[in-house]
């Protein structure tokens, strides 16, 4: 079993209640990589017996640091229409007094998608190929970075923290390491691999953490599974739009190697100072 599938594994404890555990393989500065946590909460929806269709939108709010160890995921369809379904999810862990407390809230929309007119309006940017960028070049300051092959073509992590930054955009190639077939779960995690925009914009390393993250899925499961059969690269581009009073936003796009837009994603991130 792939290390990612081990990390997001859930065992059903009853209708819409699942047990999971954090994986040291995806460790972050404190607790696990948020992208894997977001993928885990989506997985609870995907393996729920009442599921209708496939994910269209996912919003995950990181309410508190997830402690290393066991956690409980709750997923509940709150509204089922003819072709769309709305979900509420939550992750709980025992608090200091032993009672379960909320560490994450999330919502999702799933839908039976139909053939319609369509087009991409965000062309894949032209950058050096992964081979031309060379070896993985995102400094593995934390463990989860080693679970990906990330090749930053533009906007690398500063090598000198000298306050000289002047832009907040990064463009990077990414795939699971080792390779894994693409699906909604690892796509969700890879939508969160961009290092904090504030580090790049300021060339200053300050504590930062995602507070809320949204992913819109433009591709369905068939298109995802057909994307390079697990060895294909994704191209991601992320940039901040505003930094103010301790929070910045990030807007990002994720394409497959063939240039199809797979997901667009946004997050708001806390930063200190």
Using the minimum distance from each CB to a second copy, give the nearer residue, 82 or 135. 82
Question: Are 42 and 108 spatial neighbours (Cβ–Cβ below 8 Å)?
Answer: yes
99 sits near a second copy (criterion: CB under 8 A)? no
Q: Which helix (H) or strand (E) covers residue 45, if one does?
A: helix 34-46
Shortest distance, CB of residue 100 to a second copy, whole angstroms? Answer: 12
Tell me which residues in 54-73 interact with a second copy (CB under 8 A).
Answer: 56-57, 59, 61, 63-64
Per-residue binding letters, 177-216, with a second copy (x by CB under 8 A): ------------------------xx--------xx-x-x
Main-chain phi, psi angles of 145, to 5 degrees: -60, -30
Shortest distance, CB of residue 95 to a second copy, whole angstroms? Answer: 10
Distance (Å, rounded) from C-alpha 58 to C-alpha 104? 13
Binds a second copy (CB under 8 A): choice among 47, 81, 129, 229: 81
Environment class of 82 (CB within 10 Å of its CB; exposed 0-12, middle 13-18, buried 19+): exposed
Using the minimum distance from each CB to a second copy, give the nearer residue, 118 or 134. 118
Using the minimum distance from each CB to a second copy, give the nearer residue, 204 or 231. 204
At 208, list the tokens.
């930062």
Tell me which residues in 145-174 interact with a second copy (CB under 8 A).
Answer: 167-168
Using the minimum distance from each CB to a second copy, give the nearer residue, 11 or 245. 245
Sheet holding 11-14, edge to edge: 11-14, 17-21, 70-80, 84-94, 100-111, 54-62, 208-217, 261-271, 247-256, 234-239, 170-176, 148-154
17 sits near a second copy (criterion: CB under 8 A)? no
253 sits near a second copy (criterion: CB under 8 A)? yes
At 271, list the tokens.
């930063």
**Residue 16 zone, left/alpha/beta (φ > 0; ψ -120 to 50; rest):** left
Distance (Å, rounded) from C-alpha 121 to C-alpha 255? 12
Tell me the longest C-alpha to C-alpha distance in the chain. Answer: 55
Per-residue binding letters, 101-130, with a second copy (x by CB under 8 A): xxx-xxx-x-x-xxxxxxxxxx--------
Count of positions on this chain that bind a second copy (CB under 8 A): 62
Question: Are 194 and 150 spatial neighbours (Cβ–Cβ below 8 Å)?
Answer: no
Q: Which stretch binds a second copy (CB under 8 A): 9-17, 126-134, 147-155, 218-226?
A: 218-226
Binding stretches for a second copy (CB under 8 A): 56-57, 59, 61, 63-64, 78-79, 81, 84, 86, 88, 90, 101-103, 105-107, 109, 111, 113-122, 167-168, 201-202, 211-212, 214, 216, 218-220, 239-247, 249, 251, 253, 261, 264, 266, 268, 270-273
């Amino acid at each position: 079993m792939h290390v990612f599938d081990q990390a997001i594994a859930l065992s059903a404890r009853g209708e819409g209640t699942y047990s999971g555990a954090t994986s040291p393989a995806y460790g972050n500065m404190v607790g696990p990589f948020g992208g894997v946590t977001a993928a885990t909460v989506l997985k609870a929806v995907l393996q729920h017996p009442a599921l209708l269709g496939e994910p269209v939108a996912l919003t995950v709010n990181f309410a508190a640091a997830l402690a290393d160890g066991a956690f409980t995921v709750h997923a509940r369809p709150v509204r089922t229409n003819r072709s769309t379904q709305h979900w509420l999810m939550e992750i709980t862990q025992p608090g200091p007094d032993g009672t379960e407390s909320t560490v994450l809230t999330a919502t999702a929309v799933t839908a039976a998608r139909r053939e319609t007119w369509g087009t991409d309006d965000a062309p894949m940017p032209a950058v050096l190929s992964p081979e031309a960028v060379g070896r993985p070049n995102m400094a593995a300051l934390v463990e989860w970075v080693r679970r990906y092959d990330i090749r930053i073509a533009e906007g690398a992590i500063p090598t000198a923290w000298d306050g000289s930054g002047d832009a907040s955009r990064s463009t990077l190639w990414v795939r699971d390491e080792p390779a894994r077939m693409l699906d909604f779960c690892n796509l969700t995690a890879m939508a969160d691999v961009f290092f904090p925009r504030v580090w790049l914009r300021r060339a200053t390393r300050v504590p930062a953490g995602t507070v809320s993250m949204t992913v819109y899925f433009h591709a369905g499961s068939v298109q995802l599974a057909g994307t390079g059969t697990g060895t294909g690269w994704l191209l991601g581009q992320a940039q901040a739009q505003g930094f103010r009073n301790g929070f910045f936003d990030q807007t990002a796009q994720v394409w497959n190697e063939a240039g199809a837009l797979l997901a667009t994603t946004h997050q708001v991130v806390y930063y200190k100072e």
